[in-house]
Structure 1
């Protein structure tokens, strides 16, 4: 919210010496976030005055229009004689009032003005446009002033061209601060001065109805006000002072009717909308959208409406997205004269969801989302009608349409000592009552107060909200700083230590950790090629998603990781190895539809905690990796190699090693992996995850290089982590025995390895597969697996006979279990 200081001064009599920076310090102390204070027009130096064009001579012989003008600037030039000025603009005529900067002045940007000869004439100054004055963008050239603007007066003071502008970042709970009215109230409180409410206008005693309207859905809108004006002069211009203020506040002047509604929205915080009266057909109704309805909004986009959308409609159908943007068919045009002015109070949550659904954010929706004063529509609409009558010659049609769904004001009960207990500072009852009344609350009671928040503070719903108001107005700096005494901790849990070890191990193996959003779209399940009925398709939908494109909670880590990988590949980092650890959300089939709401004035009971846990989804921790491009790069040391499915399997083994378990790898078919290059990962008989090469359709859907690989496993299924200990290092030499076994092609190498381990006994230190061979010498449907067996005894040097006996025992068990035979026998 950008707030000119001069505008704030209209409603609070700040001392003359108070600057924008002084006020910013006060507002920051009161809890508002003032980001910057801009000194608008600080580089504008006079003499800058109002002049009247007396004569215009058209100069010829040039490629563009050049005019030699005589301008009356009164006594501003010290002589009273007309000022001679050369100008290239053509949008003004003799008799027009314009802004003139005389020699010696300076325009924004360091543009100094002097007398100089140009186009064969002596030019003594410049006739200014709005961009040259720093108050807007040029639309037609020179700024032409109303005919009654006095000649020779200082234009800087007349139009407020020099001002301090506060730029305030308004938090979602302080919607009232999105208006000059709200900020002026805060300034008045900060300085202890009276506040003049711009909404404090006397309404006419009207009983007749203006344009007919009704509220069909009270949950969408609880107050809807219409007023009607006729005969607006379509050529009436927005006053310069209003255009300056709109520009300073960050809005572009458009036309008188639009500018008045925008001006009052900024001043009061109440969004307004004007409909072209001639384009309306039948009564106006506020309702939710019906199936199949659509609306073309003012941005020329035809939008398909959702049943939860809040609409303003007439007999022709939807004419506006309530509180967000009007429809194209009822837009007021350059020649519109008859208008219906709408002011309403819409449901804040409904508007927030609607703007996110349609990706259609506006200044109006920004305010409705944060809460608008429910009592303002009557006053704001009347002020708009009156301003259009005063500035544009319109006639106010007697009567007002006021549709309302009654809303009872909620009272909050709070002990007078509660703010002090929250702050750790004693506040007496009178202080608490005074501060709450300054906010606008009605307060009754003794030591226990009954507080009714004002209509402009819908965020005050809880005793702690009231405590915050007292504390911030008393000053956060008055709260003493005391270092808290932390309770003695017990360190990290075993699960936390495991996750840290896994992260360090994967980082040491060359993987980079990423943190992806836990939100996915239904399209992700199709992109991952998940079959119908797959458990991962059963998801939870967020009630208020950050984006309607991704409203679901993830059931696998892979979508976010694959998008991160695609993001890197798209920026030229094709050789990537990423990992993520996080929870996934797997709905329980027997869970209740909604978690219970617990009281906040006490701790929950064991039964209440259990009821909440029962409603929550299962949230296991998982770890996943994705790889693409080269795993080892080529260089002077030799050729590199691409990332393979085996690297994904090895990443799983790296994770398992931190738990202290060994994985059994079996071939499997499981989306999103390639059906012929997918490994199921087991610990004993427990399936813990999958790894391998991604399906070609998956890499295409996510825009990844062909043959990208991935792994995902569930940490808790690996079992309880063992405390890592340094391995015992034997001082005796190792005995190595190689063995080549021939088995059927369908026999997994992991089964052969397991049989060798079991058969070799305690002397076996390690077993490694170092060669796989298929060919005519082995026979069709057969393969040769060559293993290196390392034997070592902890207390002696093994003899060759002992090593051979252990090897033969290992081969015997492998032969018995898998049908393996020694190659060459």
Structure 2
């Protein structure tokens, strides 16, 4: 919103000599944002020039420039014509133009000097409106009669050499502020002046407080036929419509210079008297208006919703297909005149030279209806920007009255005594009860009850005492954002001054530190990183095709994934149920970028939905009760923490020192065990088959009680091919929550024995189908408590054994906590272990 300082001074008392910078600072103090300062930054000499000669000169680059001789009077100190190079072509010999001479300064601190260009010494510049900072047009230079009007140029008697800075208003400042969505009333001089008054205490005069002619029974017929639609809670799209008629207007008359200047300074282009007056009133009061040619209207004005298939050609010359939600202004309910609150149509448009009688529309439209229509048609207008933020419904008749007064005064018309005010407003919000101590409690500044009442009254609220420190506050019509007690508290803090709110650093109190789960996850990440793996984070979104790529069976529970209602990508609408559904893509991407030897890990959550649990959708009018909240919590899907590893390439790189070793499943098994060892949880390995792993090259890791922790293995060749990964890629995924829970269980600590250890080797012949882990378990069970550890150190298959047999060699270590074992005790324990293996697996000692 551009605010001309001299216009602002009509509504609020400005100190003598106040600058735009000081005004901007005062507005910032009450929460408005300074966007920029305009004007006052052009230094002379900027003078009137008359073009005496114009010589077009084509250049080698294809451009044509004009070498001009310009009469600038005595402003150059010689009285001789000034030679100037100009690249524009929208002027002719004899035209009056704006010329800045050497020594002048344009906006942006652009210094003007005489310089040689295109083979001439150009002593100055013929300016465009953009170069002077008074508009955005850069297509051509300023021709003064076109900009100011022939009549006004004659009135001013402009001659070559006259100073143009006061004529163009370049000595006047304009403050530009950014209006936030909750302060729509500041899209007007009325609102900005009020805010300046709040900030400085300056006397304020409301421009809407003008004598308003009362409505009559015989005014132009208006029918508010919209009762609202369910999508907008049944709120009528228009609840007040004022129609005023002015007859006998001469719209060929030129808009007064002072009004044109104010419109230009406010960033709007003067068009014609009728349009300029409605725009001026909108900028002054914040109420958008529209003018219709009365002669083109056949019947009553009917405000209704559109019918599917209806079309409207708006004033921007675009033919638009209307939606049933669009609110329309129509003639007799059939001919569409305007898209309510957004833009008028070509039918009923006021035309200078033809229109003599106009009907002024001043209405109050529902903000949501206007906002949805504006966005639906991608049509942002000055009117829509104001209506969608909320327009004061109490100023509707005053805005129409001001427009009528201006048209009568400057257009020579006569105001019709018949006035329509179709007012169907219903009170939608009542008074707000406020504890006067609430601002102090919320903000932390000591606001006295008197100060709270003073501020609320200052911003236009009606305040009544309810007793016991409570007041009833009725916000004014221009503040639709004041809806409850906290919004009133914000107003007290804003007007009293945000700078009075102290910056207090909160005192750090002693806490309990990290939880056991947080510490455990950090230790796991540190352990894997310490072994050379790189941690990554992947997006948790997958598509159904990923389940097929991983070879999951149609009834696999991992396919039961949570579907997002509004996914980032339609190709990945599901939440992953395993980390290995997203982590291999990170491996593929790194390898495709040239990294051959890669080992990655990820620690994150997966989502395991229970589709049987349905969350209720409570209303927004009140806080849900505890039972509803518990139902919502129960419906939240489980999100356990997992850790996953994927690796490919070489574990030991080759070089001058020798051959390398490719990473294989044993490396990943070791990393998985290191995760458990870091948390002090012993694991067991059980051969398993599970997608996406290779059958026979997959193990299940379990706790000692059989609880599954996760799976480790080499990925299936078909999975590797579908995912674009290297051959023999290995991976693992463990449930960290299970490991963390197991690490919290009490651990039986045994004292270290200081007695010597005795070892004994056994080689057992078993069928090749027998897993060595099962044989090891039998040896442990048979040896008893004296067995400290057992390890497989050799596997033999060959001519000395049958084709379906294998020899497994184990080294068994025995130790007693309280004595040195005898040879007989060691042999007895070893024989018992062999006997148990023979019983369980038919093992024969070699």
TM-score by length of 2: 0.68
Cα shift at 1:169: 9.0
Where does residue 128 of structure 1 map in the other structure? 127
8 A contact 2:404–2:415 mirrored in 1: no
Where does residue 473 of structure 2 map in the other structure? 451
The secondary structure found in structure 2 opposite 1:471 is helix
Q: Distance in 2 between matches of 1:293 and 1:556?
A: 49
Where does residue 63 of structure 2 map in the other structure? 64
- Quickly say closer, same or farther: Cα 1:538–1:142, change in 2 above 3 A: same
Where does residue 390 of structure 2 map in the other structure? 372
Per-residue Cα deviation, 1:250-281 (whole angstroms, up to 9, x for no partner) = xxx89999999999999878899999999xxx
Q: Distance in 1 between matches of 2:838 and 2:288?
A: 83
Q: Distance in 1 between matches of 2:791 and 2:175?
A: 73
Where does residue 250 of structure 1 map in the other structure? none
Cα shift at 1:681: 5.3
- Quickly say closer, same or farther: Cα 1:476–1:165, change in 2 above 3 A: closer
Q: Distance in 1 between matches of 2:601 and 2:126?
A: 62
Per-residue Cα deviation, 1:483-503 (whole angstroms, up to 9, x for no partner) = 766666444443444344444
Cα shift at 1:676: 8.7
Q: Distance in 2 between matches of 1:677 and 1:162?
A: 83
Per-residue Cα deviation, 1:63-87 (whole angstroms, up to 9, x for no partner) = 5333243545566546776644331
- Quickly say closer, same or farther: Cα 1:711–1:61, change in 2 above 3 A: same
Q: Distance in 1 between matches of 2:724 and 2:288?
A: 44
The secondary structure found in structure 2 opposite 1:577 is strand
Q: Distance in 1 between matches of 2:520 and 2:189?
A: 54
Where does residue 621 of structure 1 map in the other structure? 640
Q: Which runs of 5+ in 2 are unaligned?
A: none
Per-residue Cα deviation, 1:428-447 (whole angstroms, up to 9, x for no partner) = 32211111223333221242
- Quickly say closer, same or farther: Cα 1:216–1:416, change in 2 above 3 A: closer
Cα shift at 1:127: 0.8
Cα shift at 1:556: 3.9
Q: Distance in 2 between matches of 1:424 and 1:490?
A: 28
Where does residue 436 of structure 1 map in the other structure? 456
8 A contact 2:340–2:365 mirrored in 1: no
For residues 34-45 of structure 1, the aligned pairs below 5 Å read: 34=33, 38=36, 44-45=42-43
8 A contact 1:737–1:804 mirrored in 2: no
The secondary structure found in structure 2 opposite 1:155 is coil
- Quickly say closer, same or farther: Cα 1:572–1:380, change in 2 above 3 A: farther
Where does residue 237 of structure 2 map in the other structure? 223
Cα shift at 1:208: 3.2
8 A contact 1:269–1:367 mirrored in 2: no
For residues 302-381 of structure 1, the aligned pairs below 5 Å read: 311=326, 371-373=389-391, 375=393, 378=396
Cα shift at 1:90: 0.7
Q: Distance in 1 between matches of 2:10 and 2:75?
A: 29
Work out which of the residue numbers 175, 185, 201 in structure 2 matches 1:192: 201
The secondary structure found in structure 1 opposite 2:743 is coil
- Quickly say closer, same or farther: Cα 1:425–1:492, change in 2 above 3 A: same
Work out which of the residue numbers 584, 588, 602 in structure 2 matches 1:579: 602
8 A contact 1:761–1:806 mirrored in 2: yes
Where does residue 15 of structure 1 map in the other structure? 15
- Quickly say closer, same or farther: Cα 1:442–1:694, change in 2 above 3 A: farther
Q: Mean Cα displacement is larger for which, 224-233 or 617-626?
A: 224-233
Per-residue Cα deviation, 1:746-786 (whole angstroms, up to 9, x for no partner) = x7776666556555655666667789999999999x79797
Work out which of the residue numbers 611, 614, 617 in structure 2 matches 1:594: 617
Q: Distance in 1 between matches of 2:503 and 2:133?
A: 46
Where does residue 226 of structure 2 map in the other structure? 214
8 A contact 2:527–2:674 mirrored in 1: yes
Confirm or deny that 1:92 pairs with 2:91: yes
TM-score by length of 1: 0.69
Q: Distance in 2 between matches of 1:365 and 1:568?
A: 51
Q: Mean Cα displacement is larger for which, 635-644 or 448-457?
A: 635-644
Q: Distance in 2 between matches of 1:470 and 1:508?
A: 56
Work out which of the residue numbers 388, 410, 430 in structure 2 matches 1:410: 430
Q: Distance in 1 between matches of 2:318 and 2:735?
A: 46
Where does residue 427 of structure 1 map in the other structure? 447
For residues 276-291 of structure 1, the aligned pairs below 5 Å read: 286=305
For residues 354-753 of structure 1, the aligned pairs below 5 Å read: 371-373=389-391, 375=393, 378=396, 406=426, 408-445=428-465, 446=467, 447-478=469-500, 489-510=511-532, 520=541, 524-529=543-548, 531=554, 537=560, 539=562, 554=575, 556=577, 558=579, 565=586, 569=590, 572=593, 575=598, 577-582=600-605, 584=607, 586-587=609-610, 589-594=612-617, 611=630, 614=633, 616-625=635-644, 627=646, 630=649, 632=651, 634=653, 653-661=673-681, 662=683, 664=685, 667-670=688-691, 682-683=702-703, 684-688=705-709, 713-718=734-739, 720-722=741-743
Q: Distance in 2 between matches of 1:738 and 1:300?
A: 97
Q: Distance in 2 between matches of 1:648 and 1:293?
A: 67
- Quickly say closer, same or farther: Cα 1:396–1:461, change in 2 above 3 A: farther
Cα shift at 1:716: 3.7
Q: Mean Cα displacement is larger for which, 707-716 or 545-554?
A: 545-554
Cα shift at 1:139: 4.6
8 A contact 1:209–1:401 mirrored in 2: no
Q: Distance in 1 between matches of 2:388 and 2:45?
A: 44
Per-residue Cα deviation, 1:696-722 (whole angstroms, up to 9, x for no partner) = 999999998898776555444446353
For residues 244-283 of structure 1, the aligned pairs below 5 Å read: 245-246=266-267
8 A contact 1:624–1:713 mirrored in 2: yes
Per-residue Cα deviation, 1:588-640 (whole angstroms, up to 9, x for no partner) = 6344413587978xxx99x5597466555144332344646657584757777
8 A contact 2:443–2:493 mirrored in 1: yes
Where does residue 46 of structure 2 map in the other structure? 48
Q: Distance in 2 between matches of 1:321 and 1:415?
A: 44
Where does residue 140 of structure 2 map in the other structure? 141
Q: Distance in 1 between matches of 2:118 and 2:266?
A: 36
The secondary structure found in structure 1 opposite 2:429 is coil
8 A contact 2:51–2:96 mirrored in 1: no
Cα shift at 1:99: 2.8
Q: Distance in 2 between matches of 1:526 and 1:319?
A: 53
The secondary structure found in structure 2 opposite 1:470 is helix
Per-residue Cα deviation, 1:31-81 (whole angstroms, up to 9, x for no partner) = 56x5x76555787432224x3544442334645333243545566546776
8 A contact 1:311–1:320 mirrored in 2: no
The secondary structure found in structure 2 opposite 1:460 is coil
Cα shift at 1:387: 13
Q: Which runs of 5+ in 1 are unaligned?
A: 248-252
Where does residue 168 of structure 2 map in the other structure? 158
- Quickly say closer, same or farther: Cα 1:88–1:535, change in 2 above 3 A: same
8 A contact 2:575–2:607 mirrored in 1: yes
